[in-house]
C-alpha cells in the first residue's frame, strides 16, 4: 500500500511554516538532513524534562530508566537493520565518526606499509579523508574504483584494483551527489576472495530503502540518525562481532574500561569498549522514536514513493533546455536525488534565487571535490527528496528554475 505524504506531513511542524519572505517552505535538501516528526522532538524534550540522568552508572531510578531507553534503542536498531546482534551496534557521533573509528582502530592494526586501501572516485570526503590520513601514516596506497558515464561503478578491472595487497575496501552504497544506488555484491565477493574487509558508507542508503546487514555480508556499515528523522550528533557503526572484539579502543576514558591501574587498564566488553564517555543520550532515545516512525511508514513504501517522485521530477526536468543532469537513467539504480547544472549560471546563483521562492536545495561540491573535478565543474545544484515530499514540491521547484532562466535570459525550450 502506498503512503500518503499529505497526511504524514502533518507530523512535521517545520513543513507547514511560511518563511520570512512570505513563501511556503519547500524542503528539498534531505540528502543533507531530514526533518523531524513531532514524536522524535517530543521524545528528545521528554528526556531532558523528565528522564535526564547519565547512563550505565547510577543505581537510582532515573539513571536506570535512561539506561534502559538507551539500550532498548540499540536492540531496536539491530532488529531494524537485521544486524548480527545488538552488541554489533556501536553508537557514534555520526557517519564520519564511525568511519574514522574503523580507520583508527582496525586500520591502524591491520594496514601496513605497501598495503592497499580501495575506495571509489565518488566517495564523500568522510569516506576519503580518514583513509588518506591512514595511508599517509602507514605508507599504504589508495586505489580507486572508477565510474562509468552513467555514474555506476566501472567493475571491468575490479580484479586489478582489489588485489592480495588490499586490506580494506570502503565504498558508498548510494551517492550523495547523483543518487546512484550501487550493487555491491561483485565488489564484496572480490574482497572476500583476497581476504579484504569491506566498509560500506550507508549514510544516504540507510534512510531510503530496506537494509539487511547480515544478507549484505559486509564487515562494517556506517550511517547517521539525522538523515533518517533522528537528532543530529548520533551515528551508528555496525561491525561483525568477531572483528569488533579484536579491535582496540579508539578513545579512552569513562565507561569503556573494565579495570584501571596507574600504569595500565583493561577494557570493557562490547559495545562499551568502543563508546567512551557520556554519549548523546537524548539523541539516541530520539532515534528510537525515529525508527518507530520509519517502521510504521515502511521502508519499501518510502523507496517506492521516492522512485515515483524522481520519475516525475526527471520528466519535468527534461522539458527544460540548458540543463545537465547527473546520474543514471535507470530508476532501479537511482534514489531520490537529482543533481544538475544550468548552462552559464553558477550553482550558488541558482540556489539563491530558488531560496527567494521558498525552495531549499543544496548547491556546491557536496563534499565530493574529486568527483566535481572529474565532471569538470565547480559544483551542482542538488534536490533530494524524502517520503514527505510531494509532486507539488517538485512543481514549485520547476517554476523556480524557470524563474532563474528568465532572470538570466536563457530560457530554452525543447
Q: What is the pLDDT of residue 411?
A: 44
Instruction: Give the DSSP per-residue string, 234-269.
Output: -EEEEE-HHHHHHSPPSS-STTSEEEE-SS-EEEPP
Q: Three cell numbers at 255?
A: 565507561
Crossing angle of helices 281-297 and 38-46, rounded to 10°: 150
CA distance 214 to 81: 9
CA distance 246 to 324: 48
Is there a common fold for 5-30+298-412 and 41-295?
no
Which residue carries 530496506 as its cell?
A: 210
Q: What is the pLDDT of residue 18?
A: 96
Instruction: Tell me the pTM.
Output: 0.96
Band the pLDDT of 1: cuts 50, 70, 90. low
Catalytic residue at 207?
no
> Which residue ranges make up each domain of the chain?
5-30+298-412, 41-295
* Residue 116 and residue 144 in contact, taking contact as beta carbons nearer than 8 Å: no
pLDDT tens, residue by residue, 319-364: 998 999 999 999 999 999 999 999 999 999 999 999 999 999 999 9
pLDDT tens, residue by residue, 139-198: 999 999 999 999 999 999 999 999 999 999 999 999 999 999 999 999 999 999 999 999
Beta bridge partners of 224: 235
Burial class (CB in 10 A: 0-12, 13-18, 19+), 401: buried
Please provide the CATH number assigned to the domain covering 41-295: 3.40.640.10
Contacts of 103 (CB under 8 A, 6+ apart): 130, 131, 133, 134
CA distance 324 to 301: 29
Residue among 207, 367, 368, 381 flagged as catalytic: 367
Q: What is the pLDDT of residue 13?
A: 97
**Architecture per CATH, 5-30+298-412:** Alpha-Beta Complex (3.90)
Amino acid at each position: 500500500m502506498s503512503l500518503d505524504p499529505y497526511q504524514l506531513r502533518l507530523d512535521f511542524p517545520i513543513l507547514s511554516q511560511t518563511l520570512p519572505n512570505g513563501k511556503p517552505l519547500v524542503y528539498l535538501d534531505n540528502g543533507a538532513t531530514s526533518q523531524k516528526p513531532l514524536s522524535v522532538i517530543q521524545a528528545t524534550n521528554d528526556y531532558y524534562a523528565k528522564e535526564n540522568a547519565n547512563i550505565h552508572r547510577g543505581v537510582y531510578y532515573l539513571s536506570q530508566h535512561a539506561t534502559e531507553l538507551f539500550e532498548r534503542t540499540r536492540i531496536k536498531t539491530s532488529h531494524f537493520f537485521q544486524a548480527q546482534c545488538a552488541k554489533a551496534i556501536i553508537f557514534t557521533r555520526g557517519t564520519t565518526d564511525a568511519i574514522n573509528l574503523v580507520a583508527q582502530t582496525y586500520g591502524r592494526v591491520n594496514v601496513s606499509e605497501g598495503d592497499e586501501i580501495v575506495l571509489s572516485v565518488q566517495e564523500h570526503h568522510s569516506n576519503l579523508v580518514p583513509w588518506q590520513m591512514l595511508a599517509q601514516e602507514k605508507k599504504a596506497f589508495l586505489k580507486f574504483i572508477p565510474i562509468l558515464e552513467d555514474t555506476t561503478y566501472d567493475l571491468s578491472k575490479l580484479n586489478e584494483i582489489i588485489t592480495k595487497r588490499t586490506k580494506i575496501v570502503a565504498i558508498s552504497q548510494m551517492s550523495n551527489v547523483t543518487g546512484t544506488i550501487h550493487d555491491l555484491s561483485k565488489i564484496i565477493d572480490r574482497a572476500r576472495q583476497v581476504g579484504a574487509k569491506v566498509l560500506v558508507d550507508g549514510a544516504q542508503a540507510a534512510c531510503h530503502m530496506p537494509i539487511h546487514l547480515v544478507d549484505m555480508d559486509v564487515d562494517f556499515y556506517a550511517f547517521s540518525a539525522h538523515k533518517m528523522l533522528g537528532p543530529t550528533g548520533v551515528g551508528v557503526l555496525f561491525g561483525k562481532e568477531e572483528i569488533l572484539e579484536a579491535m582496540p579502543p579508539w578513545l579512552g576514558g569513562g565507561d569503556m574500561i573494565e579495570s584501571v591501574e596507574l600504569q595500565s587498564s583493561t577494557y570493557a566488553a562490547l559495545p562499551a569498549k568502543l563508546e567512551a564517555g557520556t554519549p548523546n543520550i537524548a539523541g539516541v532515545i530520539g532515534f528510537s522514536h525515529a525508527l518507530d516512525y520509519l517502521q510504521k511508514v515502511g521502508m519499501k513504501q518510502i523507496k517506492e514513493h521516492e522512485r515515483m517522485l524522481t520519475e516525475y521530477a526527471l520528466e519535468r526536468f527534461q522539458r527544460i533546455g540548458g540543463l545537465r543532469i547527473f546520474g543514471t537513467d535507470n530508476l532501479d539504480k537511482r534514489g531520490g536525488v537529482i543533481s544538475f547544472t544550468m548552462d552559464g549560471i553558477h550553482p550558488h546563483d541558482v540556489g539563491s534565487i530558488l531560496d527567494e521562492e521558498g525552495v531549499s536545495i543544496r548547491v556546491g561540491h557536496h563534499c565530493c571535490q574529486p568527483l566535481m573535478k572529474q565532471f569538470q565543474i565547480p559544483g551542482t545544484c542538488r534536490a533530494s527528496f524524502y517520503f514527505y515530499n510531494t509532486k507539488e514540491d517538485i512543481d514549485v521547484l520547476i517554476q523556480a528554475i524557470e524563474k532563474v532562466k528568465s532572470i538570466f535570459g536563457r530560457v530554452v525550450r525543447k
